[in-house]
A and B are shown apart, each in its own frame.
Chain A
Amino acid sequence: MTKYRVNKTKHVDQTKTVSFDFDGKSYHGFEGDTLASALLSNGVHLVGRSFKYHRPRGIMSCGSEEPNAICQINEDTDLTEPNVRATEIELYEGLKASSQNCWPSVNFDIGGINNFISSFIPAGFYYKTFMWPKSFWKKIYEPLIRWSAGLGKSPTKPDPELYDHKHVHCDVLIIGGGISGIIASKIAAKNNFKTILIEDKNILGGSTIFQKNENYKINDKYSGEWIYEEIAELKKLDNITIKTRTSLAAYHSYNYLLAKENISDHLPLDKRNGGIRQRLWKIRADKVIVATGAIERPLVFNNNDRPGIMLSNSVKKYLDFYGVSCGLNNVIFTNNDSAYETAVSLKEKGISVEIIDIRKKSNSKIVKNAEQLGVKIYWNSTVVNTFGLRKINSIEIMNLSEDGSNVVGDKNRINCDCLAISGGWTPMVHMHTQSGGKLDFREIDQTFIPNEIDKNHINVGSCNGDFELEEIINNTNKKVKNFLKVSETEFDNTSVLNSKELDKRNIWLLPNYISEGKCKSFIDFQNDSTAKDIKLALREGFKSIEHVKRYTTTGMATDQGKLSNMHALGIIADTAGVKMGTLGTTTFRPPFTPLTFGSIVGRSVGNFFDITRKTSIHEWHIQNDAKFENVGQWKRPWYYPINEEGLHDAVQRESKAARDSAGILDASTLGKIDIQGTDASEFLNRVYTNAWSKLGIGKCRYGLMLNEDGMVYDDGVTTRLGENHYLMTTTTGGAANVLSKLEDYLQTEWPELDVYLTSVTDHYSTASICGPNSKKILTKIFPDKDFSDDAFPHMSYQNGKIDEINCRIMRISFTGELSYEINIESKFGKSLWEKCIEAGKEFKITPYGTETMHLLRAEKGFIIVGQDTDGTMTPIDLQMDWIVSKKKYDFIGKRSLYRSDTIREDRKQLVGLLTDDPNEILEEGAQIVSDMSKKPVEMIGHVTSSYFSPNLNKSIALAVVKSGKKLNGQKLIVPMENKNINVTVSESVFLDKENKRINA
């Protein structure tokens, strides 16, 4: 045992030694220690350097409010993590931790020079300088600022561990397993509420669990013993889930809460094996009881940041919970009674302690207790300075004036190796405010306490401003009873003995004989903002708390101001001469403590980043070496290279084959909507630009759908399957949106229509066969069918059968070739495809992908919505006037086609482009110019689609060009970075203008 391990406790197993490294040096602690308690047991206080001045800093607290002791752990492994609080790391064998923000070492840090020039770099100094000469900003000043940025180091390798999500519902969620949380949990669970209790530590009981003081008894037991038994009983109850190592991260509206459970962070690295590291609980609770406790406040005085200056209750926890005395020669500096519990604890273990109290007196039981034990108390006094380079070695104290605004009398120097400070307590109201709750200011102890209006959550215990044991127990019991509508509980007649605090005095910034400008009285320890920074901000006109916070960076460090916000507010109020309650407070934002990205994302990483949709024919495509393109969530074959073929060669071969003999395309991804009902025809009339009433049964028609703003939204072929039955196809990417839009109109604008919509995209697979030999192939597949043009004309459909399986055959064409689409139930999709390939073998049927499909349709001048349109093109712009019914009274988007801008003649219009050099292929997206001499050049359009056509043996392109309709034959220029390409406007149909091939 080290000399600082002075006490045996039931929470640290001193028979089980754990070895660990800190800053490259080996130490020993015990099972049950945190990194912080283990370091302290070895006498190590100095663990880091501050952000701005690089001042030596030590462990200050024992929880999530810790501003100083943040480390990089397991550096140089895949499991490294920056900015971890030593106070929260459970010690495990082989843990390696190192201090941050110092170079070359925490003991000797070059950045410490900032401390000596600190008077030149007050709050916000960077707004006032680094501006001259201007050229220095980019080369010198900014790199310098960036170099000093940051604390730890980001991992540089992917995370080998996993993260889980768990969705739960419960009747009552209790946040915090301290005394009030335990009481609330017992009441809830015993009254048949499905209850969840979460606690961020690995042990329940909060700060009561290590309480053993004569002045605090419950039913005649030490409060620590009493709660120990309560916890044991609680654990036996059925309908409660208790999650330790689980911290509440966020409290969203409608009682939706996120809590992070640590699963393996406390295990040695060799026991983790890439398993689940953390689990994010997504909880929807009917009722929430917040019991998050309170945080001890520091005191703000000159040089209050040396290693060895710690929060008083933390000193007590290290002693009574971990068995570690933070110092052997302690001084406590306080403004309240709670620190006397620390003093009594120390003294009872024979450790030296003295008290400096800013109050003039206190007659409470606990103070008397300390006095009886012989603890020396300096009343009405304050610390004015502290000494010690890497750890505190002495302090200077003085008496306070009557009103506390000044110091009087002589300085008195006291040696110490630990200064425990206590400025009172701040209720943790974060959860309450995150939920949308408001706060009230309580003057007597200068705290913000929850103002409860919301019916679905309450705050109990010290987070509600109840600090005395008796108050905590009785008020918690009463509030929970009301909240859960319970008439009696086991806590109704609890007898509580406690010391009552009668005398209070608070001074936010303690006075000093040294002038304010020369004092370093820290408020935000991690970000190094001091009281004089706050006063400077106020002098410079930054008056709102948010301005002060942003100008001085107070409260913006990784502890999010848990220790600093109240002091900042207090000093602003005192300086401005206003009441603190009128200033409001800054908004507490989630998460309560920093939350790993991994836990937020859960399993949605890698292949699970997004759904992958595959057609029933997908496996065949893979076996045949297809390269895939992502289209929305779909994987579509892009092209099928043979041997070493690249995209270009494959597409040339595929396109040629499709026009010369036969090609086959997997068209299963197109959206398919089944439309039924007596008003189906009328419905289509309203949603498409063309007329549908006269479409015969068994016929197909192409339709164009607009947005209400008149711009092209989607297109596709719809087939009339029966009198009141249609099958609509949509673009692959647009399918879901089209269905939603149609349902929206149907349900909200046209509820009188008898129409039913069903998405059947996934239910049918589609093989599209095109080319002059397609008819022969179809005849082989459906030998009984007459495929003559008379019996089965273009734009018609028929049912067919392959063996006993029903198919729908549509004779439609997106390539301009004779072409058929066979639809079959998806479970037969792959068989159908293989049958088509087999039947087409003698015609060298060639599977083609989306790229060839795009090329073939471009040869015919067919548009692709989303490629040739961009949400700014009307059908008129696309030169598709023929599809816009003049007779129909209305359809979606019709009115917008007649606005002053949409009727302009000089809008951008779809045209064809031919390069003067037929081998030059334009870049899709390239801009088009008519006059290069104009400065700046006027862009009159852009290339939307561009290919080398093997069937025409030249480059072709589609483009949208201003007044394009009138420009046929006109020479234009496509200016690239290194050359200008000469092009000529043409018609957009390049091949088979007479449409002969569809009947070939």
Chain B
Amino acid sequence: MTADRSLKPLAGASALALLAILAGGALLSLAIEAMGGRTEGFATFDSYLWRIARFTLVQALLSMLLSVALAVPLARALHAHPAFPGRAMILRLFALPLALPALVAVLGITSIYGRNGLLAATFRALGLDAIPDIYGLTGILIAHVFFNLPLATRLILSGLDSIPEDYWKLASQLGMNGWARFRLIEWPVIGRNLSGIAGLIFMLCITSFTIVLTLGGGPRATTLEVAIYQALHFDFDIARAVSLTLLQLCLTIAVLAVLGLSGRPAEEGFSLHTATRRFDRPPLGAKLLDGGLILFGLVFVGLPIAGTVVSGLAADLLRLLSERPVWQAILTSLILGASAAALSLIISLALVMAREYLANERRDAPPTLFERALDLGASLIMVVPPIVIGAGWFILSRHFVDPFSLAPIMVVSVNAAMAIPFAFRILRPSWDTAASRHNRLCAQLGIAGWNRLRLIDWPALARPLGVAFAFAMALSLGDLGTIALFGNNSIQTLPFLLLQRMGSYRTEDAAGLALILGFLCLLLMIIADRGASRLARTESGNNG
């Protein structure tokens, strides 16, 4: 083995350590601060906590199942029709919900399914006496599927894209029907990544806060995250906040452990990758079904976004775009988002490379704890509430530096950490596939280090890297940051400005800013798609 390969586990370990320090440091510092303070701790670990813990799990599991169950056929349909009209635009649209602040999404969803929404208007127009009532579990599930169906679809699709073209050629030559193709070709790839994707969605939903409270209809719908916020913010009971965070972590690990059992890794064959082209000619029935599925996905995701766009267009966009604070916020968001995305990509790549290296080295032995940690551990950062990380580091740093000056660093690192699970899942299938195809060849030819990265890995990775960067940046663009406690006078992001206007009656301004935010995100996806494919083309052109 060459030196560069043996460095991979070290890189992975460092990446993991970084995340552990970010979350663990905050928790530890809070725990120390809490000692000697007055606390309720788990004293009221009563029926209330039990109830909200149960509700948290149930809504997250249901949201996850629904999102994944819909995403698998949708991703298959999108993959089977590379020439579906507007396909590229649909995929970009699917990245938008990620960048929308929860409140904007909630208002978009109510503009369709609410008591005064499009659906209600349709009922009225049809002379029906029904008012849609989504407040409760229904509303929560609609919102969570709105956020996660497009995400899951894109992630599954990126797995399907890593299937070598020869498979489809062969399947078509052998005259495989749809079911056989699914079972023999698609499922091994989907299944291998599915538990990870499901886990990611589960974690996103377990920490849901604004959506659960606003659409939940009352305190019956309360998540642990609400209790953590309440403990830290309203009650200033640090010990309780730490205990609840640990409880949330443990529950998540338990559920992920159960989920992990289902994803049996399959071995992958060796093939030279060209552009994915499907050779199968689906029968008309399948075509119609796939078309219907894609249309459903488009309508389901597109309508609330359209609602947001309509409200946004009612705003005085010209005035907004002539305001200096708006431009400053756009600039701040772009700079912070790009930094977070870059950092997140570096860490994710280290994790992905180390995991594949270890998996490759152990051959048929069961994965070690370290390998599993590389896979899942990084994602756990998502269930440590940003307010907890913020408070912990505030306490820790106030003795050494002015906490205000740390604000940009904290925003970037927390946003980067939160984006890692996404970036990791986008990069992993491509990296693993590329590695399994090239490892032996490269070893035979003695291609390693920089040369291998430039000639072999880069062409295969350029596109997923571009997509992962855009995703991570979109996620950071929509995020408010963790800096409630790191008050700082010089950073003001776009979502911050949006919520500030929303919080002072300026609803129209807020809608206009949401439109600008969505537009930025779409632009980002387009640039990433175009740029990455061009890069990949030039590189492979050079090779040939």
**Do the two shown chains form a genuine complex with each other?**
no
Chain A residues near B (Cβ < 8 Å):
none
